Amino acid sequence: MTVKSPEAPPVREHRPVPAVQARRRPSTRPRLLPYGLLLPAVVVVAVVSVFPIVFALNLSLHETRFTQLEDFVGLDNYAAILGSSAGWASIGRSLIYVVASLALAIPMSLGIAHLLNRPARFRLVFRALILMPWVISQTVAALLWRWLLNADYGPLGLGDVAGTRIDVFADPVQAMAALILVNVWISYPLATILCLAALQTIPAELEEASDVDGAGPFTRFRRITLPMMAPTLFVVAILLTLLYFNMVTLVLTFTAGGPFGATQLVSLDAFNESFSFFNLGLGAAYSVILFVFNIVFGAAYIKLIRSEGDG
Amino acid sequence: MAESIRTGRRKPAGPLAYAALVAASLFAVGPLLWALSTSFKSPDAVLTDTSWIPSAPTLENYTIVLFESQVPRYLFNSVVVAGATVLATLVLATLGAYATARFRFRGRGASLFFILMTSMIPGIAILVPLYFLAVEVGVYDSYLGLIVVYTAWQVPTVLWMLRGFFQTIPTSLEEAGRIDGASDLRVMVQLVLPLAKPGLAAAAVIAFVYVWNDYLIAATMVSSDDKRLVSVGLYNYLSQYGIEWGQLTAAVLVTIVPMVVLFVLMEKRLVAGLSAGATKG
Amino acid sequence: MSVSRRATLLRRAAVAAAALGLIAACGSGGGSTSSGDGRLELWTFLDPNSPDDPRGQALRTVVDGFNESQDEVEVTIRNINYAKIDSEVVRATASGQGPDLVNVYSAQLATHVDAGTVLPLDDYAADYLAQIGDDLIFPLEGVRFGGSVMSIPWETRAWLLWYRKDLLDAAGLPVPATLDELASTAGALAASGAAQTGLAIGFSDQGLGADFVEKFIPLTWGFGGEILDEDGTAAFDDDAGVQALEYLRRLHEAGAFGDEVLNMAADDVIQSVTAGTVAMAIEGSYRVGAARSGEGIGENLQTVPVPSRTPGEPLPTAVAGQTMAIGANADDPEAAWTFIEYYTSEESQALFAEAGVLPVRASVYDTPEFDALPNADELRSWRDYVVDHGRPQPVSSRFNELSAALVGVGQQTVFRDEDPREALTGVAEQYDSAAR
């Protein structure tokens, strides 16, 4: 899977073709063919994404009453969010949530992928087991973990850990930590499988060669694995970032924003305003803010990978 | 390519690696083991029997889920919608990916950029507008509406992925085909697609799982019970009287089974397909 | 706010969709819910296929009975999860669809009225209401908006003090008769280890804080205050509201409950009562039956009216319940009304009573069928509580928002040191300013 900055042409364009062939059929290649091939995809994406996002932008600039658009209010809805400490607190928590989840999920996926890449007995079994959370929906994941972590009747027995009671849902920091843990649990399998796939393209001979050189595993990882994995890690980072910023169902079911508002994320604000409180305009403003964060992070990754390529 | 690389010898896993694998597996399936255990407990035992091995195992929950609930119907719906989405996504994304990987044309960069941007749109932002659009067009509460939305949602990712995959396939074959007088379309369908199979398989699995897990779109675009998808259908066990844990966990396990089968069948292709497409930057 | 500038989202969607005109070609059918062919669609949170909820079965029997009773129309049921039904009805109605008949929980009715999803029933209900008159024990103010009755109640509920008799007996404690006793009893229960939590009140954000607000309302009333004024502005930020919060704080300090309730919503509280880890709770009458069905619970779970500061004088209870309304886009409101009459008849009420629903019609409580119910006396005691001490739950179309904000205040003031008055004033100002 590649996501790269579109302005930069692919590194290995499989052209020019041999000159003879190129001359042979230069004009018979239908000029409209590529457009015809690409058009259906663009059209479907445009109808389902672009019209609604324009619609949402418009909503965010209006006062709404249930599903009715009322007065144009300019940026008032945004001002209500960005002008309040609660709004910034949500943004801050979203950033913590996303960054901490990434910081856990990516190294973990890389590590597990590395393990799964080595010949081992029951490799298929391990792969199937480790990737299983991938097919668990967010609702179910949240419910199961809520139960596991419950201090009173959870099977992990957190009510009495060497005499101390650990109630993660009563403590703001622990609740956020638990939320991040569950988030990582449902999202690392996709990252792992992408990393695993990328690892398989690294020729074993390269690693052997570095062994001969006497390089330790960490040097090898830094000199060989990491550079070759960079494009994949970039894709993984983008996919996970989008997933995390936009996460609603998991948070709603796991903590619903509590305790003490400690897990109130921008995505949850967007959901509540739109679907629980019927403030569609304000809800749209929250989701546009999410959109902006997605773009900013996406652009930052693109910039990062480009500068790495230069250096 | 991937197949040949895999023949290279890597150091086999040592005891430490096995320990790490077991730990990772436990983290992954621990919660699911608890679900498995709960699914064999009677409603009264669910909260009182706190051991991981049910003291009085019962199949009651499975009987109810399989024969007295709508879960089989939801499963069927999910398979139909996810399957159709995968098909539609693959067709659209393959055409688009091929066009952008093999042809230079005005607007290529812009189109790719546009498609990349749409994948940044948060789902929550467009649920409400999509709902009204679907109602207006007449696809609300139908398989078709779901399939169109999911397809559009998946096309960007899959298109970028397949584009990378096509770029790894040498063009010499196609040139040979063209010399033989085959049209561009024939070249693509008969020569390139067979080579792209692993990539298509990997994309299919990713798109399938996405539809399988999605809750928000499924809950917004469909409201009648007989068209409900499994992720939404599980909500039936969250009643006003509390959660029907036994039945919920049994239903979850019933829905995991087809996915595990799918994964075991597709595992080789999935990894091979991704490894060809993933690293092509 | 000029009316002419209003444009429904629908119209804009239509214009844009027509302009794009793209997926129209491949889409057809689906989704039409009101087709005018003598079929009435009923949207309800009850699941007629539920193997666990007897109310679903009762619903099926009533609907089948109605369909057989006449040839004109046929009612079909669409079941939607209770947490999602309101927003789905609002959206569907805005897009020109929606149900012919819709079940609305009384606390959500204001939202539906404001969103224009239900029809006023004056044209149909006048005779009916005149006829049943005093037989209706549900306070009609709870379903009347702008002078019009908007829905007909078919279920009523009160909030009671639940207690585990076995746990109280084991600890040798009597059932508390005042709020002070409630605090000390609950504290003693927890301290003695009879239960993990003496009195559980759910402070979780789940369910928009409903469990907390269901306690905050009657306590505020009990201290002589109001939640909302006549004109709909916030009134909970006066002394009574502050006293209610201070009482809850006192409960916490007395050890009646600990931090564990921060992770409890109503269903967690009930599960814990069932499991015996919670000794007392203040929960709805409509959940008693389900809670008792657990193994070893039965008669160990008892209820009394919630005590107040004065012995022998219970705290007022909010009265709420399920109601039936006619959808704004109903094809045939006349026919829909016929169904509502059938649905709220004494016979149907008796059927629902068997399924554990507290009837809204007094006469049903005196029938021989009702006498045959195992807990007929208990049900009558609940009716008496509703009739003598019931008040309609405060209504606001922004109740969800208020509820979510109030539980935040509850957390901050009971478990943290935030000043109750300041916190309540903050929420009240926000609530009033948003009303504009």
Q: What is the pLDDT of residues A267-292, one digit of tens each?
A: 999 999 998 898 999 999 999 999 99
Cβ-based neighbours of C252, under 8 Å, separated by 6 or more: C258, C414, C415
Positions of E strands within C172-227: 197-200
Q: Which chains does chain C touch, 3 or more C-beta pairs < 8 A?
A: A, B
Is residue C354 within 8 Å of residue C375, measured between CB atoms?
no
Bond before A259 cis per omega within 30 degrees: yes
CA-based radius of gyration for chain A:
24
- Residue the block writes with tokens 């403590």: A171
Is residue B159 within 8 Å of residue A41, measured between CB atoms?
yes
Bond before A16 cis per omega within 30 degrees: yes
Using the Cβ of B34 and the Cβ atoms of chain A, whether some distance falls under 8 Å is answered with yes
Sheet-wide strand order for A68-72: A62-65, A68-72, C7-8
The interface predicted TM-score of the complex, written ipTM, equals 0.87
DSSP lists the bridge partners of residue C105 as C322
CA distance B91 to B102: 16
Q: What is the pLDDT of residues A181-194, one digit of tens each?
A: 999 999 999 899 88
The pLDDT score that the predictor gives to residue C53 is 79
Determine how many CB atoms are found less than 10 A away from the CB of residue A308.
12
* C370-394 mean pLDDT: 91
CA distance B146 to B210: 13
The pLDDT score that the predictor gives to residue A25 is 43
CA distance A154 to C220: 35
Per the CB < 8 Å rule, is B140 touching C268?
no
Q: What contacts 24+ positions apart, CB below 8 Å, involve C2-6?
A: C5/A70, C5/A71, C6/A68, C6/A69, C6/A70
Q: Binning pLDDT at 50, 70 and 90, where does residue A21 land?
A: very low
Residue type, position A100, single letter: A
User: Which phi-psi region, left, alpha or beta, contains residue A157 (left: φ > 0; alpha: ψ -120 to 50)?
Assistant: left
CATH fold of A85-310 reads MetI-like fold (1.10.3720)
Pick from A151-155, A255-259, C170-174, C312-316: least confident: A151-155
Q: Binning pLDDT at 50, 70 and 90, where does residue A262 land?
A: very high
Per the CB < 8 Å rule, is C208 touching A151?
no
In the stretch 151-170 of chain B, residues with CB closer than 8 A to chain A read: 151-153, 155-157, 159-161, 163-164, 167, 170
Domains of chain C by residue range: 34-150+321-392, 160-319+396-435
Which of A48, A77, A277, A279 is best to mutate for the C interface (most C CBs within 10 A)?
A277
Domains present along chain B, CATH in parentheses: 69-278 (1.10.3720.10)
Residue C68 φ then ψ, to 5°? -80, -20
* C139-161 mean pLDDT: 93
CA distance B182 to A132: 44
A172 vs chain B: nearest CA distance in angstroms?
23
The pLDDT score that the predictor gives to residue B152 is 93
Is residue C398 within 8 Å of residue C434, measured between CB atoms?
yes
Which of C103, C271, C285, C357 is best to mutate for the B interface (most B CBs within 10 A)?
C271
- Residue the block writes with tokens 């069932």: C274
Q: What is the pLDDT of residues B9-56, one digit of tens each?
A: 566 778 888 899 999 999 999 999 999 999 999 887 887 788 889 988
Per the CB < 8 Å rule, is A30 touching B184?
yes
A-chain CB neighbours of B46 within 8 Å are none
* pLDDT of chain B, 281 residues: tens digit per residue: 343 344 445 667 788 888 999 999 999 999 999 999 999 998 878 877 888 899 889 999 999 899 988 899 999 999 999 999 999 999 999 999 999 888 888 888 888 888 888 888 998 988 888 988 898 888 988 999 999 999 999 999 889 888 877 887 788 877 887 777 777 778 888 888 888 887 888 888 889 999 999 998 998 898 888 899 999 888 878 776 678 889 999 999 998 888 888 888 877 777 777 766 544 43
Q: What is the mean pLDDT of chain A?
A: 83
DSSP letter (8 states) at residue B13:
P
Q: Which two tokens stand for residue C387?
A: 């009739």
Is residue C277 within 8 Å of residue A153, measured between CB atoms?
yes
Using the Cβ of B182 and the Cβ atoms of chain A, whether some distance falls under 8 Å is answered with no
A197 vs chain B: nearest CA distance in angstroms?
4
Residue C136 φ then ψ, to 5°? -85, 115
Per the CB < 8 Å rule, is C81 touching B235?
yes
The pLDDT score that the predictor gives to residue C274 is 87
CA distance A264 to A91: 9
Q: Which two tokens stand for residue C418?
A: 């935030």
B122, with CB counted inside 10 A (0-12, 13-18, 19+), is: buried
Judge whether residue C70 has pLDDT over 60.
yes
Judge whether residue C36 has pLDDT over 70.
no
Of C148, C96, C144, C124, the residue nearest C344 (C-alpha):
C124
* A153-178 mean pLDDT: 89
Per the CB < 8 Å rule, is A276 touching C116?
no
CA distance A262 to A174: 9
Q: Which two tokens stand for residue A218?
A: 């960490």
* A237-259 mean pLDDT: 93
C-alpha distances out from residue C12 to A67, B132, C8, C20, Å? 11, 9, 7, 12
The pLDDT score that the predictor gives to residue A244 is 95
Supply the CATH classification number for the domain C34-150+321-392: 3.40.190.10
Per the CB < 8 Å rule, is C267 touching B244?
no
Query: Quick one: closest CA in A to C396, which residue?
Result: A277
CA distance C384 to C305: 10
Is residue C8 within 8 Å of residue A66, measured between CB atoms?
no
Strands C39-44 and C101-105: parallel
Q: Which two tokens stand for residue C132?
A: 């049943």
A214 vs chain B: nearest CA distance in angstroms?
15
Per the CB < 8 Å rule, is B234 touching A140?
yes
Positions of E strands within C171-308: 197-200, 278-284, 301-305
DSSP letter (8 states) at residue A115:
H
CA distance B138 to C18: 12
- Three-state SS for C84? coil
B247 vs chain C: nearest CA distance in angstroms?
11
Judge whether residue A236 has pLDDT over 50.
yes
Of A124, A132, A265, A249, the residue nearest A189 (C-alpha):
A132
The pLDDT score that the predictor gives to residue A15 is 41
In the stretch 27-66 of chain A, residues with CB closer than 8 A to chain B read: 29-31, 33-35, 37-38, 40-42, 44-53, 55-56, 59
Residue type, position B127, single letter: L
CATH fold of C160-319+396-435 reads D-Maltodextrin-Binding Protein; domain 2 (3.40.190)
A-chain CB neighbours of B178 within 8 Å are 21, 25
| C33 vs B115, higher pLDDT | B115
Using the Cβ of C435 and the Cβ atoms of chain B, whether some distance falls under 8 Å is answered with no
Judge whether residue C164 has pLDDT over 60.
yes
Q: Report the share of chain C in percent with pLDDT over 70.
A: 91
Residue C325 φ then ψ, to 5°? -130, 165
What is the model's pTM? 0.88
Query: Quick one: closest CA in C to A54, which residue?
Result: C16
In the stretch 187-226 of chain A, residues with CB closer than 8 A to chain B read: 189-190, 193-194, 196-205, 207-208
CA-based radius of gyration for chain B:
23
The pLDDT score that the predictor gives to residue C41 is 94
The pLDDT score that the predictor gives to residue C102 is 97
The pLDDT score that the predictor gives to residue C191 is 94
CA distance C267 to A143: 13
Domains of chain A by residue range: 85-310
Per the CB < 8 Å rule, is C260 touching A170?
yes
Judge whether residue A169 has pLDDT over 90.
yes
CA distance C96 to C351: 34
Judge whether residue A120 has pLDDT over 70.
yes
CA distance C121 to C367: 29
DSSP lists the bridge partners of residue C77 as C42
Determine how many CB atoms are found less than 10 A away from the CB of residue C136.
18
Alpha helices in chain B (DSSP H): 2-6, 15-39, 43-48, 60-63, 71-102, 108-118, 123-137, 143-168, 172-179, 184-186, 193-195, 197-213, 216-221, 230-233, 245-278
Using the Cβ of C8 and the Cβ atoms of chain A, whether some distance falls under 8 Å is answered with yes
Q: Report the share of chain A in percent with pLDDT over 70.
A: 85
CA distance C344 to C193: 46
CA distance C254 to C257: 8
Per the CB < 8 Å rule, is A167 touching C263?
yes
The pLDDT score that the predictor gives to residue C382 is 94
Q: Binning pLDDT at 50, 70 and 90, where does residue A7 land?
A: very low
- Residue the block writes with tokens 């239903």: B251
Is residue A230 within 8 Å of residue A122, measured between CB atoms?
no
A133 vs chain C: nearest CA distance in angstroms?
24
The pLDDT score that the predictor gives to residue A308 is 61
Q: Binning pLDDT at 50, 70 and 90, where does residue A30 land?
A: low
Is residue A232 within 8 Å of residue C379, measured between CB atoms?
no
C-alpha distances out from residue C396 to A142, C319, C389, Å? 31, 15, 22
The pLDDT score that the predictor gives to residue A10 is 38
DSSP lists the bridge partners of residue C199 as C280
